[in-house]
């Protein structure tokens, strides 16, 4: 059923720390690895070793440059996957009921055997979280590793999404964002976590923690003033060369 549940018992989701992410793409690789070998159709690659490689990914890492008015630019690595929105537009547009949001934990999933591959859900998602697999012709999206988080065959520490488990920087956190006392909710409250594209009205569950303000490098060292170059005009041979070159046509002199 592609009508959205009125409310979900829990709101499982990710909290992504943009301050900590180092842009290593390990989450992209572990996601592709797990989701190719497990739940649903594998994530295909086409022309993988050719001139025009392309593939299906459920998680991709963008990089952005933030240039403040004064000072150095900052590079922010920005992992993006399904945000498991409360008001998911991808779910309601689905004509077959293949796309659905689970009432028990809020995970948005695709029932691949019902998917006709019309692509409308990918059009409806403002975040680009859904990709049609070029080989299987069904819509693929982040499942929040639904086949890991409840999997009692796995050791307890592995019962979290592959991307979270693998992140070497600890930039990804998984938990119940519907419970204000959960670790992830506390983290969001403490760090001022934000929604992506709030004006789109999707009410995303996943939250992003903004980068902390950087230290300013105004005063590098108390000794710095003593290290200023003493001579501002070139002396000796260089000085002569400078003057001689300036005297040539087109020079300053």
Partner 1 sequence: MHPAPSIILFTTLSGLGFGLLAFLGLGMPGPTGWAAFAFFTIAFALAGGGLIASAFHLGHPERALKAFTQWRSSWLSREAWTSAATLAVMGLYALGRIFFAADWQMLGGLGAALAVLAVCSTAMIYGSLRAVPRWHMWLTPVHFLTLSAAGGALLAGQVGLATPLLALAAAVQLGLWMQGDRAFKRSGTSLASATGLRGGMVRAFEPPHTGTNYLLREMVHVVGRKHATRLRAIALILGYGLPILLLLLPFNHWLGLLAVLTHVLGIFASRWLFFAQAEHVVGLYYGKR
Which one of residues 61, 144, 163, 177 is an interface residue with partner 1 (CB under 8 A)? 61
Which one of residues 76, 103, 169, 187 is an interface residue with partner 1 (CB under 8 A)? 76
Could you tell me the end-to-end alpha-carbon distance of the chain, in angstroms, rounded to an integer?
A: 81
Of residues 10 and 207, the one with the C-beta less far from partner 1: 207
Distance of closest approach, residue 159 Cβ to partner 1, in angstroms = 27
Beta bridge partners of residue 132, listed in sequence order: 139
By CB under 8 A, what part of segment 18-57 binds partner 1?
18, 25, 28, 52-57
In whole angstroms, how far apart are CA 162 and each of 60, 154, 207, 209?
14, 12, 18, 20
Of residues 94 and 108, the one with the C-beta less far from partner 1: 94
Distance of closest approach, residue 94 Cβ to partner 1, in angstroms = 6
Number of residues interacting with partner 1: please give it, by CB under 8 A.
70
* Dihedral in degrees, nearest 10, Cα atoms 242, 248, 250, 253: 60
Phi, psi (deg, nearest 5) at residue 54? -155, 150
Binding site for partner 1 (CB under 8 A): 1-4, 18, 25, 28, 52-57, 60-69, 73-76, 78, 80, 89, 91-98, 114-120, 122-128, 131-132, 134, 136-138, 194-201, 208, 210-211, 213
């Amino acid at each position: 059923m592609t009508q959205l549940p009125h409310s979900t018992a829990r709101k499982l989701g990710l909290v992504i720390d943009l301050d900590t992410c180092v842009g290593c793409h390990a989450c992209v690789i572990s996601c592709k690895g797990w989701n190719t070998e497990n739940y649903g159709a594998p994530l295909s690659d086409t022309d993988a070793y050719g001139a025009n490689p392309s593939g299906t990914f459920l998680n991709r890492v963008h990089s952005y440059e933030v240039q403040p008015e004064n000072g150095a630019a900052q590079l922010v690595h920005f992992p993006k996957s399904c945000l498991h929105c409360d008001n998911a537009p991808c779910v309601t547009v689905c004509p077959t009921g293949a796309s659905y949001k689970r009432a028990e934990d809020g995970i948005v999933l695709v029932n691949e055997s019902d998917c006709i591959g019309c692509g409308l859900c990918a059009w409806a998602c403002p975040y680009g979280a859904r990709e049609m697999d070029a080989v299987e012709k069904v819509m693929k999206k982040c499942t929040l590793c639904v086949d890991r988080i409840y999997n009692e065959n796995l050791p307890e520490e592995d019962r979290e999404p592959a991307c979270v488990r693998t992140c070497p920087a600890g930039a990804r956190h998984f938990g119940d964002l519907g419970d204000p006392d959960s670790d992830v909710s506390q983290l969001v409250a403490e760090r001022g976590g934000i929604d992506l594209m709030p004006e789109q009205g999707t009410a995303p569950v996943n939250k992003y923690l903004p980068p902390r303000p950087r230290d300013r490098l105004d005063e590098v060292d108390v000794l710095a003033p003593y290290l200023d170059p003493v001579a501002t005009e070139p002396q000796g041979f260089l000085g002569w060369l400078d003057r001689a070159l300036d005297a040539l046509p087109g020079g300053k002199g």
